[in-house]
Structure 1
């Protein structure tokens, strides 16, 4: 990719506690954030400012997931519930009791109209997005599951657990396919490559591993950060991806060579985060990359192409 620059476009404050989740908005030029505060916040990307409190919650938010082709936002909570909120009408649609333990990650299977929720109990809970009833449940691991990813063709779904193990299941009927220990510490980020041939994983061992989906065998590994890799985010258009970390930095990498293109942190003289970056997201077709974390701030970074 040609050379590019990243500039800080805005810093948004208002959260009183660490932020764990960012998600696309239903309306154009909006997005959501959530964390240890008792509410989901909606922001205006165009005005780069606060829009509204979408809804109050009763415990910490660990994941936000906008259900594709709907105005419904799924909100995963520490108390084991998942709230489904109609963003357009600001109305609670369903309150799913998933577990007695924390729910850490959510994933929809759009062609099946199903929502998969996973968390501290190591069990996947599958919910109908038409009736909001539980339609299936299956055990993945005896350890906490913190992250999940769906292949673009919606055929495979992969989970990462606290032991560093990857678990590959069929997304069509949820039967088990493969498992392999990829990391020495908990897996905290997962994503499929754009062609679905590879799965990328990041973990608390600070490693980034590339595994072949057909066998889960490791193809390549490198150390992108000093500490936990909390997120891996392929750009929606360009052959690049971003990673965010507990080491207070985010970095941009080339897709195929995994060569470093840009490192953004206070050490690199950017007005970046002072504490762990817990989450990120590409918005506006990849014009902006947003980061948020323990310093309670959201940073909007603008891609500057030559």
Structure 2
């Protein structure tokens, strides 16, 4: 697949009035959720490639959406420090949690434990039980903002990236720190586990491929001109995609970080005019959202 990927723009979804920061998609769904500075979560119909409805209004900007696998639940992390858990089918509020200070930037799910973990501006992690909706743990990761969390494929490890460029690796069973290491010269903005590696992107426009057990650098490249805001591999173990403030998104080989595709206006794609803030890769589609208030739906073949 990797050397002959064809990418076409399937649709451009317009309707947001402000920059879009985040997106999520339920399992095997023909729906897409997006949110950002509009203070509301939008549902898009991917069969009609059109606006479906406003899922909910919220009191502040939304920085992260996370669909809980195998449920109708959607977690919403906000600038206010609130985390809402919504049943997207009947649009009811299931839980309303509040962190102690600052915005919520990242949410991940540990399905084996039925736990949800959120992290934000204050450097503390919050862990909630998805069966009882009770707060189980609160613990400090860093003295500064933590922007991103990744979960290993076997759900045994968590990686956190902080504003000082440090990556912290924790055991998922007891939330104890195993190792931390300065990797980037500026904030860590995106993380993903692939094979036995961690792929890390930062505001320093660097991409690192690291050994997951000791954070030793295997390879380092400059993939974009500006911040690497998002990394997703769509479930593949050989390729992954990155999206950046430089208005481009790209596909790379995991093995040696070789560039396979560069999707940008410079390469004659009808791509975004402004920063790409987030992306998700689901099967043969990649979705990107931007400061230009647009959602782009890309088809891979």
Q: Is the 8 A contact 2:161 2:191 kept in 1?
A: yes
In the alignment, does 2:118 pair up with 1:121? no
Task: Provide the TM-score with structure 2 as the length reference.
Answer: 0.97
The corresponding residue for 2:151 is 150
Q: Pairwise mapping of residues 1-306 of structure 1 onto structure 2 (< 5 A)? A: 1-25=2-26, 28-193=29-194, 195=195, 197-237=196-236, 239-283=238-282, 285=283, 287-304=284-301
Distance 1:11 1:238 in 2: 28
Q: Is the 8 A contact 2:101 2:121 kept in 1?
A: no
Distance 2:182 2:138 in 1: 23
- Pairwise CA RMSD: 1.1
Indicate the SS of the match to 2:266: helix
Distance 1:120 1:185 in 2: 16
Cα offset for 1:237? 4.1
Indicate the SS of the match to 1:112: coil
Indicate the SS of the match to 1:111: coil
Task: Provide the TM-score with structure 1 as the length reference.
Answer: 0.96
Cα offset for 1:27? 6.7
- Measured against aligned partners, the alpha-carbon deviations of 1:215-270 in whole angstroms (never above 9, x if no partner) come to 11111100100000001111324732110000000011112121111101111111
Q: Is the 8 A contact 1:26 1:71 kept in 2?
A: no
Indicate the SS of the match to 2:4: coil
Indicate the SS of the match to 2:271: coil
Distance 1:243 1:111 in 2: 27
Unaligned runs of 5+ in 1: none
Q: Is the 8 A contact 1:73 1:87 kept in 2?
A: yes
Moved more, 17-26 or 137-146: 17-26
Indicate the SS of the match to 1:31: strand
Indicate the SS of the match to 2:112: helix
Cα offset for 1:99? 2.4
Distance 1:235 1:85 in 2: 25
Indicate the SS of the match to 2:229: strand
Distance 2:118 2:290 in 1: 23
Unaligned runs of 5+ in 2: none
- Measured against aligned partners, the alpha-carbon deviations of 1:40-64 in whole angstroms (never above 9, x if no partner) come to 0111112111111111111000000
Distance 2:191 2:36 in 1: 20
Distance 2:27 2:257 in 1: 32
Aligned residues: 300
Cα offset for 1:303? 1.0
